[in-house]
Amino acid sequence: MSVSTEPIQLPSPAEPSTRRRLPRGLRRPGTIVAGAWLVLVVLASATARWWTPFPAEHQDLGQVLGGPTARHLLGTDELGRDIFSRLVAGGWISIGPALLAVAVAFGVGVPMALLAAEHGRRAEWSCSRVAELLLALPTTVILLAFVGSVGVHVWAIMAVLGLLLSAPVYRILLALAQSLRTRLYVDAAKVNGVGSLQVNLRHVLPGLATTIAVQAAQLFALGILIEAGLAFMGYGPAVPTPSWGGLIGDAQQHIYDDPWMMVPTGVVLALTVIAANQIADSLAGERERTAPVRKPARRSGRFVPTAVRPSAVVTSDALLEVRDLHVGVDDGPELVSGVSVRIRPGTVLGLVGESGCGKTMTARSLLGLLPDGVAVTEGSIHFGGRDLVGLTERELQAVRGREIAMISQEPMVALDPMFSVGYQLTRPIRRFRGVGRREARRTALDLLAQVGIVDPQRVLRSHPHELSGGMAQRVCIALALTGSPKLLIADEPTTALDVTVQAEILSLLRSLVRTSGLSVVLVSHDLGVVADLCDDIAVMYAGQVVESGTVTAVLDDAAHPYTGALLSANPHIPQGEEVPDRLPSIRGTVPAPEHWPDGCRFAQRCALATARCHEPIEAAPAHRDGTVRCIHPLSTATTVAPSEPGAAR
């Protein structure tokens, strides 16, 4: 299959390169010195036994409380032990447990945050209560109680500290993980059938990495101070094993007769804590500098088959048939009311209407990708001989990508910025088609060529930030085609693109439908786009389909006053017709779902409305195969006047 398109150029070499460099914040001299100091301290203390001048426990009673000399660089303590050797050896006893506390804090806090972010309100509620419980416990009292009942085991004490610290870690990471899960590339991964573990590992965890690093550096510094404090109070390692807290405790006893003893350990401890904090600050600064400014996206959820009515068996030749679909917010208003549409194989169905009419909710229902707290409450979605409503998440994963795929309105956000186009394309190809790396690469190149990219080799090596909007949307379309789906849901696929690129993408979609037999559900505000691309149309208003039929029938002979008003407000003026000074607009706005009236939902804004319009109105047959939900139709399109409530659908 080939698509004729204009050549697409990659941005000039002046664009940012894909070569990974150390982030700018970490290249500052202060941060480099801090990092070097930490590396030095960790390496020196971990290898102390092999190179320090004296064993840490070696005593020389002829040299007690001596100042620095060539033999004892930092002097000796009250038993004539070499302070330098003890300081270096004691480092590991302080740093090791601090690292353990950090590992436990993140080992518990990160999975909790991922779990709560992924599994919605109930999981979040449970994890948050556990975190609140941990936060409510007084850390010092718990540690002392632990020492009192179990004894002085430094590593175990620090593991308990790590557990207590997992609560603030969870609290900080939860909001971020939730926000990352709303990114379109996470939806795109789910649409491609990627399992939940893989979504977390590939898309959520990398996004948490900087925050984890910042928090880890801070907790490490805190862990060292807490370990030192405990050792100072006598809850450190058993005598004569050195630790920084223990050395400070020893020095404190000689503060009047040998104040120098306090200096080496105090300075090393302070420098280590300052270095860890310096690195945390630099990472935090870097995170703020590079954080993308994005408008919040919608959260993704799943089908919750509550109160789903068993549906009749569908025997039509439609590829997908939606019957009487109701979507609602848990304990809240209905967002989609009784939508029925069908998509024939190899055709394009346009869902049109103003913002807030329920187009996206309807489209996302087809993939089970509704926001958290929103669910299909009634109706059926028949596809491939089964009802998608009520399928489990696992069953839906098998449908997403392989049978129904989706492209969104923001291609730049739908691609994960962390990975190259090649990686993002070959992963699903290997999974869907069960092919090896080389074959997957070849298929990826073919798909890129198929979506009109003239330089697929280069694009395959690129990262999303190196692509223009139009190229990114082409890559997203290629990504959607990796599982050879039968149906593609395109939610305003050209909204974020400029006009010339919009035309290219529409021409690409048209060509794909024509050459591959793909069916498309196109969500759009734009009647011009729908007229251009679609075979059938469903006009939505306030959660209902108010008119449907073939594009030619509905647009040439609109029956519903809302369709008529949309057509009058449409800025696409046919060639040869006079351009009016001002386009008519539809007065008022779409009411919010909680204010939808019982009767015709458009009545408040309709010039033809009468008292009878405020009684319930059913959809009636129109345009041969379509419907209209109006008792004052504009045209003769209606074959059965839907004038009475309860008229046949």
Region of 76-84, 313-321, 339-347, 357-365 interacting with ligand ATP (CB under 6 A): 357-365
If DSSP states are collapsed to H, E and C, what string results for 297-342? CCCCCCCCCCCCCCCCCCCCCCCEEEEEEEEEECCCCEEEEEEEEE
**Amino acid residing at 134:** L
Region of 89-97, 225-233, 353-361, 531-539 interacting with ligand ATP (CB under 6 A): 353-361
Cβ closer to ligand ATP: 374 or 496?
A: 374
Cβ closer to ligand ATP: 112 or 603?
A: 603
**Shortest distance, position 539 Cβ to ligand ATP, whole Å:** 11
Cβ closer to ligand ATP: 353 or 493?
A: 353
Among 358, 452, 564, 621, binds ligand ATP (CB under 6 A): 358
Q: Is 524 one of the binding residues for ligand ATP (CB under 6 A)?
A: no
| Residue 481 buriedness (CB in 10 A; 0-12 / 13-18 / 19+) | buried
CB 620 within 8 A of CB 628: yes
3-state SS, residue 538: strand
**Shortest distance, position 404 Cβ to ligand ATP, whole Å:** 18
Angle at alpha carbon of residue 591, lines to 588 and 593, rounded to 5°: 170
Distance, CA of 324 to CA of 320 (rounded, Å)? 13
User: Dihedrals φ, ψ of 20, to 5°?
Assistant: -80, 125
**Shortest distance, position 361 Cβ to ligand ATP, whole Å:** 4
Cβ closer to ligand ATP: 284 or 600?
A: 600
Dihedral angle of Cα 465, 471, 472, 478, to the nearest 10 degrees: -140
Cβ closer to ligand ATP: 355 or 585?
A: 355
Contacts of 73 (CB under 8 A, 6+ apart): 53, 84
**Shortest distance, position 592 Cβ to ligand ATP, whole Å:** 6
Q: Is 368 one of the binding residues for ligand ATP (CB under 6 A)?
A: no
H-type helices in 482-559, by residue range?
499-516, 527-533, 551-556
Q: Is 328 one of the binding residues for ligand ATP (CB under 6 A)?
A: no
Element containing residue 115 per DSSP (H, E): helix 83-118
Distance, CA of 165 to CA of 105 (rounded, Å)? 5
Q: Is 549 one of the binding residues for ligand ATP (CB under 6 A)?
A: no
**Shortest distance, position 142 Cβ to ligand ATP, whole Å:** 40
Distance, CA of 337 to CA of 158 (rounded, Å)? 56
Q: Is 483 one of the binding residues for ligand ATP (CB under 6 A)?
A: no
Q: What is the DSSP string of 10-67?
A: PPPTTSPPS-----GGGGSHHHHHHHHHHHHHHHHHHTHHHHSSS-TT---GGGTT--
Among 360, 408, 420, 424, binds ligand ATP (CB under 6 A): 360
Among 180, 219, 325, 361, binds ligand ATP (CB under 6 A): 361
Cβ closer to ligand ATP: 224 or 335?
A: 335
Q: Is 356 one of the binding residues for ligand ATP (CB under 6 A)?
A: yes
Region of 81-89, 358-366, 480-488, 611-619 interacting with ligand ATP (CB under 6 A): 358-366
- Contacts with ligand ATP: how many residues (CB under 6 A)? 15
Among 72, 81, 342, 359, binds ligand ATP (CB under 6 A): 359
Among 114, 177, 357, 413, binds ligand ATP (CB under 6 A): 357
Q: Is 295 one of the binding residues for ligand ATP (CB under 6 A)?
A: no
**Shortest distance, position 289 Cβ to ligand ATP, whole Å:** 31
B/e letters for 259-269, b = 16+ CB within 10 Å, e = fewer, are eebbebbeebb
B/e letters for 229-248, b = 16+ CB within 10 Å, e = fewer, are ebbbeebbbeeebbbbbbbb
Beta bridge pairs of residue 541 = 544
Element containing residue 85 per DSSP (H, E): helix 83-118
Cβ closer to ligand ATP: 23 or 373?
A: 373
Tokens of 382: 């028949």
Cβ closer to ligand ATP: 573 or 592?
A: 592
Cβ closer to ligand ATP: 448 or 590?
A: 590
Touching ligand ATP, residues 329-348 (CB under 6 A): 329, 335
Cβ closer to ligand ATP: 316 or 589?
A: 589
Cβ closer to ligand ATP: 192 or 408?
A: 408
Cβ closer to ligand ATP: 90 or 356?
A: 356
**Amino acid residing at 445:** L
Tokens of 69: 């000399």
Region of 101-109, 272-280, 356-364, 601-609 interacting with ligand ATP (CB under 6 A): 356-364
* Radius of gyration, CA atoms only, the chain: 33
Among 34, 87, 283, 374, binds ligand ATP (CB under 6 A): 374
Q: How far apart are the first and last CA of the chain?
A: 41
Among 506, 447, 511, 438, CA closest to 480: 447
User: Dihedrals φ, ψ of 482, to 5°?
Assistant: -60, -30
**Shortest distance, position 356 Cβ to ligand ATP, whole Å:** 4
Q: Is 207 one of the binding residues for ligand ATP (CB under 6 A)?
A: no
Q: Is 355 one of the binding residues for ligand ATP (CB under 6 A)?
A: yes
Among 75, 371, 483, 493, binds ligand ATP (CB under 6 A): 371
Cβ closer to ligand ATP: 371 or 390?
A: 371
Q: Is 353 one of the binding residues for ligand ATP (CB under 6 A)?
A: yes
Cβ of 141: how many Cβ atoms within 10 Å? 9
Region of 89-97, 211-219, 256-264, 352-360 interacting with ligand ATP (CB under 6 A): 352-360
If DSSP states are collapsed to H, E and C, what string results for 221-255? HHHHHHHHHHHHCCCCCCCCCCCHHHHHHHHHHCC
CB 487 within 8 A of CB 519: yes
Touching ligand ATP, residues 562-601 (CB under 6 A): 592-593
Cβ closer to ligand ATP: 137 or 592?
A: 592
**Shortest distance, position 367 Cβ to ligand ATP, whole Å:** 13
Distance, CA of 220 to CA of 279 (rounded, Å)? 11
Cβ closer to ligand ATP: 352 or 415?
A: 352
Touching ligand ATP, residues 16-75 (CB under 6 A): none
Cβ closer to ligand ATP: 160 or 374?
A: 374
Cβ closer to ligand ATP: 80 or 597?
A: 597
Among 505, 454, 503, 501, CA closest to 477: 505
Residues that bind ligand ATP (CB under 6 A): 298, 329, 335, 353, 355-361, 371, 374, 592-593
